[in-house]
């Protein structure tokens, strides 16, 4: 019993990490219609920038978490404003490859700036340690992450459903031309959404710093595949779907690692294949 509870908790925390990354990805896809391969790179950059602020500027963890992702937003702005904007209307392979080119560029830049080896972040004083749950210790930081995930989900929901900006975003995503003719500055709005999505990914990276233990230049490539899977299972563009998908994938792979270590990754893909055979548009995707 207690081992199940711990596996579920571990699954929830890893699922919430995937959600943090997948939320930005899903938001960008839902509004701009672009599947952003470079989102994993923003996650990685978020982690490295937070780490640098934390370590070299001598700032506290929270300052690093605040400033690091903000720095990454600049990268997101450049990518959208000067490159992605020009390929919205052309064939899908080019959009995907444009973002893939940025994966190559960012991975390499990280190697140049921070070196190719792994960096290990300092341990946390605040939120460090662990608490006993059902007779076994569980890291406090992971509990914190389990709380952050739903908070971000709530924030996004409130932003999109309850505010004026949210209404404009939803209107522009469902009909660009109509929104533009009603006076919405769609290009600027798209840039803003992209930068916000970038921030979400980078925030996931910043939060991951104490969690992953090691920062490596390839860390974005693993998480982006997981985020893609979550986005597909949930239904591309559906934030609710991404949230549910991340929870399911997180818990499932935690059970996989615990009980079928040889299949830990394959289990995820089997789930994805099954969901898509049953519901091609994903759990919460709109029927096309």
Partner 1 sequence: MKARTRNAVAAAAVLLALCAVPFLAGKFAIYLTMRIMLLGIFAVGYNLLLGQTGLLSFGHGAFYAAGAYGMGLFGVHVSTHPLLGVAAGIVAAVLLALLVGYLCVRHTEIYFAMLTLACGMMVFSLVWNAREITGGDDGLIGILRAPVSLFGGIKMPIGKDEQFYFFVLFFFALSVWAVHRIRQSPFGLALAGIRENARRSEFAGVPVRRYRLAVFVLSGAFAGLAGSLEALLESNARPFMAHWTHSAEPVLVSLLGGLSSLAGPLVGSAIYIAMREIIQRFTENWMLGFGIVLLVIIMGFRGGVTGTLSALFRKAAAPGEG
Q: Which residues bind partner 1 (CB under 8 A)?
A: 35, 83, 86-87, 90, 92-94, 96-98, 100-105, 107-109, 111-112, 221, 225, 228-229, 232, 236, 262-266, 269-270, 272-273, 276-277, 280
Q: What are phi and psi of 131, to 5 degrees?
A: -115, 150
Nearer to partner 1, 55 or 85 (CB): 85
Contacts 24+ apart (CB under 8 A), 159-162: 160/239
Least Å from the CB of residue 211 to partner 1: 22
The CA distances from residue 60 to 65, 117, 167, 271, 272, in Å, are 9, 24, 37, 40, 40
Least Å from the CB of residue 42 to partner 1: 15
Least Å from the CB of residue 92 to partner 1: 6
Nearest CA-CA partner of 9 in 203, 128, 145: 145
Nearer to partner 1, 69 or 234 (CB): 234
Nearer to partner 1, 1 or 112 (CB): 112
Nearer to partner 1, 148 or 231 (CB): 231
Torsion of CA 134, 137, 216, 272, to 10 degrees: -10
Least Å from the CB of residue 259 to partner 1: 14
Nearer to partner 1, 65 or 227 (CB): 227
Least Å from the CB of residue 274 to partner 1: 10
Can you spell out the DSSP letters for 163-178? SHHHHHHHHHHH-HHH
The CA distances from residue 38 to 41, 53, 177, in Å, are 5, 22, 27
Nearer to partner 1, 5 or 90 (CB): 90
Least Å from the CB of residue 285 to partner 1: 9
Dihedral sign, Cα of residue 103, residue 107, residue 113, residue 114:
positive
Contacts 24+ apart (CB under 8 A), 272-278: 272/229, 272/232, 272/233, 275/233, 276/232, 276/233
In whole angstroms, give the CA distance from residue 118 to residue 222: 15
Nearer to partner 1, 63 or 281 (CB): 281
Residues forming a β-bridge with 155:
none
3-state secondary structure of 57: coil
Least Å from the CB of residue 103 to partner 1: 8
Nearer to partner 1, 75 or 148 (CB): 75
Least Å from the CB of residue 98 to partner 1: 5
3-state secondary structure of 286: coil
E strand intervals along the chain: 130-133, 136-139
């Amino acid at each position: 019993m207690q081992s199940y509870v711990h596996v579920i908790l571990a699954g929830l925390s890893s699922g919430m990490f995937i959600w943090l990354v997948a939320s930005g990805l899903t938001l960008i896809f839902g509004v701009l219609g672009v599947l952003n391969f470079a989102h994993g790179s923003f996650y990685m950059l978020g982690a490295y920038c937070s780490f640098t602020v934390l370590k070299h500027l001598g700032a506290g963890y929270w300052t690093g978490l605040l400033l690091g992702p903000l720095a990454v937003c600049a990268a997101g702005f450049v990518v959208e404003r000067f490159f992605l904007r020009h390929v919205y209307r052309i064939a899908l392979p080019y959009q995907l490859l444009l973002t893939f080119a940025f994966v190559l560029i960012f991975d390499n830049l990280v190697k140049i700036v921070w070196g190719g080896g792994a960096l290990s972040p300092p341990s946390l004083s605040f939120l460090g340690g662990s608490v006993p749950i059902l007779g076994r210790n569980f890291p406090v930081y992971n509990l914190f992450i389990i709380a952050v995930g739903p908070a971000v989900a709530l924030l996004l929901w409130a932003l999109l459903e309850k505010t004026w900006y949210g209404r404009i975003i939803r209107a522009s995503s469902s009909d660009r031309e109509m929104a533009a003719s009603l006076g919405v500055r769609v290009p600027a709005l798209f840039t803003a959404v992209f930068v916000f999505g970038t921030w979400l990914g980078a925030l996931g990276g910043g939060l991951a710093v104490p969690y992953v233990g090691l920062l490596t230049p390839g860390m974005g490539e693993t998480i982006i595949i997981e985020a893609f899977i979550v986005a597909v299972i949930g239904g591309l563009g559906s934030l609710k779907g991404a949230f549910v998908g991340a929870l399911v994938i997180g818990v499932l792979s935690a059970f996989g690692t615990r009980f079928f270590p040889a299949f830990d990754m394959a289990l995820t893909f089997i789930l994805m294949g099954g969901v898509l055979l049953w519901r091609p548009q994903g759990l919460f995707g709109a029927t096309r």
